[in-house]
Amino acid sequence: MGPIPKLERNLPPQDPLEYIDVDAELNLNKHIKKTANNNEVIRQIALETINIKYPKDKWFHVYTDGSLLKQYDGAGAGVHSAYFNHYFKLPDNTTVFEGELAAIECALKQILGRRIKDQQIVILSDSQAALQKEKQSRENLLREKTYENISKEYDKIANFTRKRAVAHFRLYTGHNCLNDHLHRMGLVQNKLCTLCDLNRVQDAEHLTKCPQLAVSRQINNDLTYLYWAARMKMI
């Protein structure tokens, strides 16, 4: 038997955005409106864009995808490339958007952990919102190290029930599914509350005032409870 090969230690978990320079490209080569009947056209234009901007002989391609899992109450995330493939389930109460983000994060960690060097890498996601978010994260990180602040807050809520923790985390970071944030991400037409007719911005503060949540407030005036009450009514 030969000598035991020396194993290289895995890198400790870190925020990949601190180590990788990420640029987000959000446009196809041609402008096109997404409608139900032109998926094939969009697919062709996307492939054309990829081939022109990121030819396979010069770029390492990583595909990411997030989806809702029918059999579970939560999202799934997938990462595909020539070197690695991953598919995993996210916790309950997660959204497609979070699935997309988790897939991109997984891709970044794989790229960092495997130390793929000397090659340009492109992560291909069909979620414009997720790419925009990743770009913003990078900018926030450089500006104020938001991740550190958020992780400290996350320690505080470790003892909450999962559902309450999710709501608290979303409300604290501002990355929630209320119209104020959804509008910022370009996912809804405007940021006003669609539950009532007060024409107020639907943010965390509005949850304490929205007349449609009056009964919910009597049951439990906790913001995390009101968050889920609002979300249930919005679906």
Q: Which has the closest alpha carbon to 164: 105, 208, 87, 226?
A: 226
Smallest distance from Zn ion to CB 9, Å: 52
The residue (of 151 and 208) whose beta carbon lies closer to Zn ion is: 208
Starting at the edge strand found earlier in the chain, the sheet holding 120-125 runs 85-92, 74-81, 59-69, 120-125
| Contacting positions for Zn ion (CB under 5 A) | 193, 195-196, 210
The residue (of 68 and 196) whose beta carbon lies closer to Zn ion is: 196
Q: What φ, ψ does residue 154 adopt, rounded to 5°?
A: -65, -35
* DSSP letter, residue 205: G
The residue (of 30 and 209) whose beta carbon lies closer to Zn ion is: 209
The residue (of 185 and 234) whose beta carbon lies closer to Zn ion is: 234
Smallest distance from Zn ion to CB 209, Å: 7
Smallest distance from Zn ion to CB 202, Å: 6
* DSSP letter, residue 153: H
* DSSP letter, residue 93: T
Smallest distance from Zn ion to CB 19, Å: 42
Cα–Cα distance for residue pair 85/75, rounded to 1 Å? 17
The residue (of 133 and 206) whose beta carbon lies closer to Zn ion is: 206
Residue 130: count of CB within 10 angstroms of its CB:
24
Cα–Cα distance for residue pair 64/85, rounded to 1 Å? 10
Q: Are 191 and 202 in contact (CB under 8 A)?
A: yes
Smallest distance from Zn ion to CB 211, Å: 7
